[in-house]
Amino acid sequence: MTVARFWRKIPQRYNLVGTKCETCGRHFFPPRTFCPDCRRNGKIVDHKFAGFGTIVTYSVIQTEPDQFASPGPYVLAIIKLDEGPQMTSQIICDPKDVKIGMRVRSVFRRIATDGESGIIHYGTKFVPVE
């Protein structure tokens, strides 16, 4: 991946900045620039998400692709953010503890590395809410 491809999404990836349609109030993360409900009547503005959500479903990935190589398996999940939309991310926790319905909050973490000397990608992961 080129630096620009990752860099252009830094506000979204680092700070959980999505969008919101001011016409109907629907929130979007990942961000959309077109409201599927209001179409041409939609008015899209940036929206920073609070970062709290609930696990909808998950898997523990055992055989990871090279660039996600980490010491041991990792937890992949779909999280429903409190503002409404759902997103895919990793959960930092003991794989034995992850459950559907578990409350989580976002944290800033390293996501992947492009090769040995490649750039390191940062972004949003989630941790359980104590």
Partner 1 sequence: MRDVAVIGVGCTKFGEHWERSFRDLFVEAGALALEDAKLAGEKIDAMYVGNMSAGRFIEQEHIGALIADYAGMASRHIPSTRVEAACASGGLAFRQAVIAVASGMEDIVVAAGVEKMTDVEPGASTDALTGAADREWEGFVGATFPGLYAMIATDYMHKYKMTREQLAHVAVKNHYNGARNPIAQFPTEITLDTVLKSTVVAEPLRLFDCSPITDGAAAVIVAPLERAKEFTDTPIKVLATAQASDSIALHDRRDISTLDATVAAGQRAFRMAKLTHKDIDMVEVHDCFSIAEICAIEDLGFCKKGTAGKFTADGETALGGKIPVNTSGGLKACGHPVGATGIKQVYEIVQQLRGEAGKRQVDGAKIGMTHNVGGTGATVAVHILGRV
Interacting residues with Zn ion (CB under 5 A): 21, 23-24, 35, 37-38, 42
Contact letters for partner 1, residues 32-61 (x by CB under 8 A): ------------------------xxxxxx
3-state secondary structure of 60: strand
Shortest reach from residue 37's CB to partner 1, in Å = 13
Binding site for partner 1 (CB under 8 A): 1, 9, 30, 56-66, 68, 74, 76-78, 85-90, 95, 100, 111-112, 121, 123
